[in-house]
Structures are given as C-alpha cells and as structure tokens.
A and B are shown apart, each in its own frame.
Chain A
C-alpha cells in the first residue's frame, strides 16, 4: 500500500466519524430519523474502491473499539461490538468492499444508475444480510422478528443510497480516485 493510500484510508475514516456527528434528519413518512454515518460507508466504497474503502471502515471501527465514541449514537468502546446490533457494524467494511468492487466494475460507464446499483446492493442488501441474522442469533429471537425490526430503517437507507450515488457521481467528475490497472498511471 502506498503512503497516499494510507492518507485516503485515514481521511475517510475521519469522514465517517464526522458524518456520525451530523444531527439526524427527520424525513416525512419515514419512521426513524436518518443519520449520515452509513452514508459514509457507501461513499467510502464508491469513492475509494473496494480495498481502500473496506480498510477505511475497518480503521474507523478499530478507533471506535479503542474507546473513542464516534458512532452516530454517541457510543464507542468494545461494548458496541458485543451488543445486539453489532452485526450491522461488522457489516460496514464488507459493505464498503462490495460497493467498491461493483463500482470498479462499473467505473468506465459509471453514472447515477450504476452508482445506485452498487449502493443498493452493497449498502443495503449486504448490511441487512449480515446485521439481521446476527441480531437474531445474539438476541435469541427468530430471524423474521429481527428482519421486521430492521424494516423501519429501509426507507432511510434507500434515501441514503440515492444521496451517496448522486455525490459519488459528482466526485468522480471532479476528483476521480479509483484507478483501473489498465489506465495510464499519472505521475506525482
């Protein structure tokens, strides 16, 4: 990993932390207010690609685990990693990786539609696929109950996937970071 990648990874971990401090936005018709933190998960994958995106989220979670309260809920420390919703946290690096992997596949023809595909699959399907069974196992409740509990968050997450896609497309135009191996390397 080049030193520039270290910088991208650390700065994106910082972005995810800062997004967690944004006040939650209540959206009409959506039961729970939207927090911006998982927007950071989607943006990490969409902007940095699979490897660096996943590492940024691993780093973020490491800093949380070390006892810095950076989660949107104001929580931190090891407690959140053994709590009933820990599965959602564990899913973040995987989600960023999947989003990044898909984004790299779509990179040449990347637009709002492809961005949405990547963010809906990685940012919603993957996160729920890990978070729901984890809660079910951990809290000793049926899978269906765990899934129903998660339903309240789906509309907010769809809004975030759209937002992340709009932002990712604009950032790609202004400052593309993902470099495909075949593209000519830029110096400097």
Chain B
C-alpha cells in the first residue's frame, strides 16, 4: 500500500514525530486564535520553508495533498468575495492552506511506524479503562494487509456475477462480499488466537 511518506535524512525527517505533531496542533490553534493576515502569511512562509528548504521535499509531495482541497479553497474564496470581503476571504483560505501544507510536511517526513508509536503513546492514559495501546500497530497492519484481500474478493464476486449475466449491480455485490468478509473475520479471529495474540485470560465455559 502506497504511503505518502518520502524517505529522507533532513532535519525535518529526523525530528521526533511527537514534536512534529505537537507543532502541527500548535499551528492550528494559533492560526485560529489570531486571525490576522500578517500572521497567516508568516505561517504559510514558515511552513513552505520548513518543507521545501529544511525538509528538502519536492514541491509535488506537498501539492499531492493540496490537490484534493484546492477546488474547495477556490470556491471558498469566491464565496467570501461575494458575502464578506477580500481580506477575510484571504485569511480564511490561506489559513487552511497553511494547515494543509503543514500536515503534508509531517506526513511526508514521518514514517508510519513512528506515527503509530505516537498514537500508542497518546492512548496510554486510556490503559486504565482497558484500552491496549499496543494493539494499534497490529490493527493498522491488519487493515493494510486486508485491503488487497477484500478488493480481490470483490473483483472475484463481480466476475462471477458477470458470468451469470449481471451487469454493474452493486448492491448484489455487497451482500456476498460482506458475508465472505465476515466469515474471513471469524477464521482470522481464530488464527490470531492460535498465534498467541490474545494475552487475556481464557474465557470461562459458559455452560458447564
């Protein structure tokens, strides 16, 4: 599965993941607390400098993450021109652009495993209520592992249905796909047990 991470050795790559995420959160809070054009422009410049100069990322790596929202941002600016004024619109749009770019920098310079470690660290306080942070890594790995499996089963069901004359009936695809996946989940649960993933005490017999 293709991740948006771009390997590198720059100071931004080497900075701790927790620090980068904290920076992102601080930026988000700050930009909304102080909605002024000079602050927003400075933030935008700082983010671009961090990504392109300090982090030596290709511009394409950042653009890849701006592309999905750029039309929305343009529409938003148009809306502000009509309803409020150009300055408010510029602040609103550039603020979002700066945030999206900053997030793109973090994503492109931080390994998935490091981010998982931060998520696990963030979840640690929840251990007292029974959450097991170490499970996050396993769940993420399992999701990535089973995306191609599910996609393949969907393709196979579609072929089987096409062979029997069905065309593009997507609901008819979903029911068998879900049932197959649920059966797969049942066996997968057993396989996890068989390979020692359950360190919880054994279930008691429900009926003696």
Binding site for B on A (CB under 8 A): 1-15, 17-18, 21-22, 25, 36, 39, 43, 47, 59-60, 62-63, 65-71, 73-85, 138-142, 145, 163, 166-167, 170-171, 174-175, 177, 185, 187
**Cβ-based interface call for B50 (8 A):** no
Shortest C-beta distance, A76 to chain B (Å), equals: 6
Asked whether, in the complex, the Cβ of B107 is within 8 Å of the Cβ of A77, the reply is: yes
| Number of A-B contacts defined by CB within 8 Å | 203
B156: A residues at CB distance < 8 A: none
A71 to B108, CA, bound (A): 17
Asked whether, in the complex, the Cβ of A139 is within 8 Å of the Cβ of B170, the reply is: no
**Cβ-based interface call for B41 (8 A):** no
Those of B147-166 within 8 Å (CB) of chain A: 147, 149-151, 154
A156 to B101, CA, bound (A): 31
Those of B110-144 within 8 Å (CB) of chain A: 110, 112, 115-116, 119, 135-136, 138-140, 142-144
B192 nearest CB neighbor, chain A only: A3
Shortest C-beta distance, A168 to chain B (Å), equals: 9
- Picked from B103, B154, B200, B206, the residue with its CB within 8 Å of the CB of A78 is B103
Q: A3-B193, A76-B4 are in contact. Are A10 and B83 (CB under 8 A)?
A: no
Q: A67-B107, A67-B110, A140-B84 are in contact. List 19 more A-B contacts (CB 8 A).
A: A3-B197, A4-B186, A4-B190, A6-B197, A10-B146, A10-B188, A14-B146, A22-B170, A25-B170, A66-B3, A66-B112, A66-B116, A76-B65, A79-B65, A79-B69, A79-B107, A80-B65, A83-B69, A84-B76
Asked whether, in the complex, the Cβ of B66 is within 8 Å of the Cβ of A170, the reply is: no
A139 to B95, CA, bound (A): 9
Asked whether, in the complex, the Cβ of A77 is within 8 Å of the Cβ of B103, the reply is: yes
B5: A residues at CB distance < 8 A: 67
**Cβ-based interface call for B59 (8 A):** no
Asked whether, in the complex, the Cβ of A47 is within 8 Å of the Cβ of B178, the reply is: yes
4 shortest interchain CB distances as A-B pairs: A4-B189, A78-B103, A77-B107, A10-B142
- Picked from A8, A25, A67, the residue with its CB within 8 Å of the CB of B4 is A67
Q: A62-B119, A82-B100 are in contact. Are A171 and B2 (CB under 8 A)?
A: no
A69 to B108, CA, bound (A): 12
A66 to B119, CA, bound (A): 10
Shortest C-beta distance, B50 to chain A (Å), equals: 14
- Picked from B28, B104, B143, B154, the residue with its CB within 8 Å of the CB of A59 is B143
**Cβ-based interface call for B19 (8 A):** no
Asked whether, in the complex, the Cβ of B182 is within 8 Å of the Cβ of A175, the reply is: yes
A58 to B158, CA, bound (A): 29
A169 nearest CB neighbor, chain B only: B175
**Cβ-based interface call for B171 (8 A):** yes
B140: A residues at CB distance < 8 A: 59, 62-63, 66
Asked whether, in the complex, the Cβ of A9 is within 8 Å of the Cβ of B178, the reply is: no
Asked whether, in the complex, the Cβ of A166 is within 8 Å of the Cβ of B171, the reply is: yes
A14 nearest CB neighbor, chain B only: B146
- Picked from A39, A63, A185, the residue with its CB within 8 Å of the CB of B143 is A63
